[in-house]
Structure 1
Amino acid sequence: AVMPLFIVNIALILSPHIPGLGTDAGMGAQSWLKLGIQVQPGEFAKVTIILMDAALVARYGGRLDDLREYLKVVFFILVPFLAIMTQPDLGTGLVYLAIGAMALVAGGARSKYLLITLALGIAAIAAVFAIDQLIYNSPGEYKLLKQYQRNRLLVFLDQDGSNTSSSGYNLQQAKIAIGSGGLFGKGLLNATQSGHGFLPEAQTDFIFCVLAEQFGFVGSMALLALYGALIYVSMRIARNSNDLFGTLIVMCVVGMWLFQILENIGMDCGLMPITGIPLPFVSYGSTGMIMSFMALGLIGSVWRGSNIDKKKEGRL
C-alpha cells in the first residue's frame, strides 16, 4: 500500500500547480486550490504521509538496521518535502519531515543512522543559507530564497528591533501581545493588539498571542496542559496497540502535533523562526481543522482496533 499512498501524496502536493486552479491566496506560496472555496491540499497530504510513513516503516518489524533499507525509507520521506518546496511552502515541508523523523525513531531505526541524517540535514541548511548570502551579495538578480523567507531568518537571528521588514514588525507585535497579557490576561475579547489591528495574521499564525493577551500566563498554561493531556493519551494508545502499524500511525500524529505546537508557540515568543505553521485545533482555517480531526480519527481507529483485539483475547 506504500506506492499508492506515495502517488496520492505527490498528486495532492503538486495539484496547486494545475493552471487555473492553483492560487497563492496572498500568502506568498502557490499552495491553494480554488474549488468554490479555497482548499490547501498540502494539509490533507499530512494524513496520507502519516499513513505512508507508518506503512513503510512497519514492514521492518520495529528494527530498521540495514543501511540500504534505511536510505530507501529516507528517500520516500524526502520526496514529499521536495515536492512541497516547489510551491514553496517550507512550514508544511518541515511538518512532513517531522512526521518522517518520528516514524524512523518509533520504527526502530539505528541511532547512528539517525544522528548522521540529522548532521547532514543541519549541514545542508547551513549550506543553503551560506550560498544564499553569497548570491545576495553578488551582482545580478537574487533568486535562491524568497525575500520573505530571508527576512524571517534575519528577524530570528536579530530580534533587537533593527529589522524593519514586515516579519520584524510581526515578531515585535507578537511579543507585545504576549507580554501585555500579564498573569490573568485582559479578558475575553479585550485584546488590544489584535483587536485594534496591530497584530497581523492574528487568527492563524499568531493565534497564541491573542490567547495569551486575553487569558494571560494562566490561560496559556491551561492550553499547554490540554495539549499535554492530548499527547499523553495518544502515546498511551500507541503503547497499548498490538499492531506496529497502528503504533506508528499514532506516533506520527504525535510527532506532527508536537512539532506544530513547539514551532507555532516558539515563533510567537521569538524562540523559533517565523513560519506559516498553524496551531492544532486553534488556528483558523477549515482545511487545517479538518486535517486535525482526521488525524484524531486515525488515533481513535487505532484505539478501537486495540480494544477489539483485547476483547477477542478475553482481556477486556
Structure 2
Amino acid sequence: MYQRLWKNMDHLILAAAGALLLFSLITIGSATLEYSDPSYLQLKSLSFFWRLTKLDFTYVIKQLVWIILGLIAFGALISMDYEILIKHSRLLYGINLLLLLAVIFLGHTALGAQRWIAIGPFQFQPSEFSKLILIITFARFLVEREGRLNTFKELLPCFMFVGLPTLLVLKQPDLGTSLVFVAIMFGMLFMAGARPALLVTIIGLGFTAGVVLYFSHSYLHHPDVVLEERLAYVNKALEGNLYYVNTDDGIRQEMLSLHLSTDKKADLLKYKQNLEQRHRVWHARHEKFHKYTLKEYQMTRLTIFVDPESDLLGAGYHVWQSRIAIGSGGIWGKGLLGGTQTHFTFLPIRHTDFIFSVVGEEFGLMGGVLVLFLFALLLYRGSRVVLVARDSYGVLLATGIVCMFAFHVLVNIGMTAGVMPVTGIPLPLFSYGGSNMLMNLAALGLLMNVYIRRKKLML
C-alpha cells in the first residue's frame, strides 16, 4: 500500500515543500544568532559550509522536532480517505469552538495576546489548527448547500458558520488568523458555485467599510493626540518652560483667538481648562470607537505600512528595519551570517514574522526569488489538485488549503516588503513556530490525500 501511495503522490509538491523546509532551517539558525563586532569579523572570513557549523542550533533543533511531528501528521492524513474527516466534520467543528473558547478562559498570554494553551512543557495555538478544521468542516457545509449560494440571503448561513470561530479568534486577539479565515471562506465559496459578481460586491463593500473605518479613526485619533500633546506643553509652561507653548503655532493661534497670553499664568490655567474639557470629549469618542471596532494598536499595525517614517521608534520600526534589511541585501545578499540588521538585532522577531527579511539581507534578491519560486511551484501544483479532485469535497478541501497558503505567502512577504499591513501572519513552512509548522504539514498531507484519491479506485 505504501508503495502505491508513494507512486501516486505529487512529487513536485514534496520537492518544493522539502526545499522550503531545508532553507527555513538554515535561515532560522542564522536569524537567531546574535553577535558583537569581533565575532562578526571572524565569521566574514569563513566559507559558506563552515558558516553552517556556526548557526544557532537551539531553535533549529526545536523546529526540527516540530517538522518530524508534522511529517507524522502528514503521513496520518494521507493514509485515511478524506471522506472519513468529512463524515466527522460536525464533531470537528464543535471541538474547534471548544478549543477556541478554552483559550479565552485558560489560555497563556504572550506578546500581548492570549492564544496558547499549555499542556505540560508544551504550548500549542488552537487558532492555527482551526484553519485546517475550518476548511474540512466548511467543505461539507458548502456541499450540503450546493445550488443555494446565489443570493446574499443564501450566503448568510455561510458567513455565520465562518463568523463564529472568527469572532472567537478576534477575541484573543488574533487579527491575522481572522483574515486568513475570510480568505479561505471566499476562495471556497467561489469554487462551490457562488456567483462571482456577488462575491466581488461583498468584498468591495468590505473594502469600503475598511476605508470608512480608517478615515473615521483618523478623524477621532488626531484631535485626541494633539489635545493631549498640547496639555503636556501647557503643563510644562506652568512649570516655567515656555519653549513648547511659544513654538507651537496651534497653541499660539488658539490662545490669541481666546484673547489669552502665554506670558500670564492665569491665562495658561484658563487655556488648560479649555483643553481638558475638549480632550475629555474627543478622548471619550476615541475610546468608544475602539470599544466597538479594532483596538488602537491593531489600527496602527494595519495602517503604519503606508508611512512607517511617521513613527520610526514605535509602530513603524518593524517595517522600516525590514525594508533596510531587504534593500541592503542587493542582488546576491551579504552571505549566510553576514546580515548586520539581523545579527546586531535591529530587525525584530526575525525568526518568525520577519524571516523573509533575513532571506533578503543574507541571500539577496536571488534568495528571495528562489523562495518565491518554491512557493509558486507549491501553489501551482496545489491548484492542479483542485482540478483533478474526484468530487466536490476534494475540490473544496484543496481549494481551502491552496487559498490558505497563498494568503499567508502574499501577506507575509508583502508585510516584510512594506506593501501590506503588519498582521503577524507567519510564512508557511518557513517561519519558526511549532503549531504553525504542524498545521502546515498536516494541510499538505490532506492536499496530497485529495490528489492520491483523484480516482475512486486508485487505492
The equivalent residue for 2:137 is: 52
TM-score of the pair, normalised by structure 1: 0.90
Amino acid paired to 1:304:
I
Q: Is the 8 A contact 1:16 1:31 kept in 2?
A: yes
Superimposed CA distance per residue, residues 195-223 of structure 1 (whole angstroms, 9 cap, x where no aligned partner): 11110000011000001111111111111
The equivalent residue for 2:304 is: 155
Amino acid paired to 1:212:
G
1:274 aligns with 2:274: no
The equivalent residue for 1:255 is: 403
**Aligned residue pairs, count:** 307
Q: Which has the higher contact order (CA 8 A, sep 6+)?
A: 2
Q: Is the 8 A contact 1:90 1:275 kept in 2?
A: yes
CA distance in 2, matches of 1:33, 1:277: 19
The equivalent residue for 2:104 is: 17
Distance verdict in 2 for CA 1:62–1:192, change over 3 Å? farther
The equivalent residue for 2:283 is: 139
The equivalent residue for 1:300 is: 448
Question: Pick from 84, 91, 94: which aligns with 2:179?
Answer: 94
Name the larger-Rg structure.
2
Superimposed CA distance per residue, residues 221-273 of structure 1 (whole angstroms, 9 cap, x where no aligned partner): 11111001101111111111111111110110110111110000001111101
TM-score of the pair, normalised by structure 2: 0.63
Amino acid paired to 1:263:
V
The structure with more helix, counted as a fraction of residues: 2
Which stretches in structure 1 are left out of the alignment for 5+ residues?
A: none
The equivalent residue for 1:291 is: 439
Amino acid paired to 2:390:
N
Q: Is the 8 A contact 1:61 1:244 kept in 2?
A: no
Q: CA deviation at 1:15?
A: 1.9
CA distance in 1, matches of 2:442, 2:89: 19
Q: CA deviation at 1:298?
A: 0.5
SS at match of 1:203: coil
CA distance in 2, matches of 1:260, 1:135: 32
Amino acid paired to 1:284:
Y
CA distance in 1, matches of 2:101, 2:144: 27
The equivalent residue for 2:13 is: none
Q: Is the 8 A contact 2:187 2:400 kept in 1?
A: yes
Runs ≥4 residues deviating over 4 A: none
- Following superposition of structure 1 onto structure 2, how do residues 103-252 of structure 1 map, counting pairs within 5 Å? 103-133=188-218, 135-136=220-221, 137=224, 138-140=282-284, 142=287, 144=290, 145-159=294-308, 161-252=309-400
Amino acid paired to 2:94:
I
CA distance in 2, matches of 1:147, 1:128: 12
Amino acid paired to 1:142:
E
Amino acid paired to 1:150:
M
Q: CA RMSD of the aligned region, Å?
A: 2.0
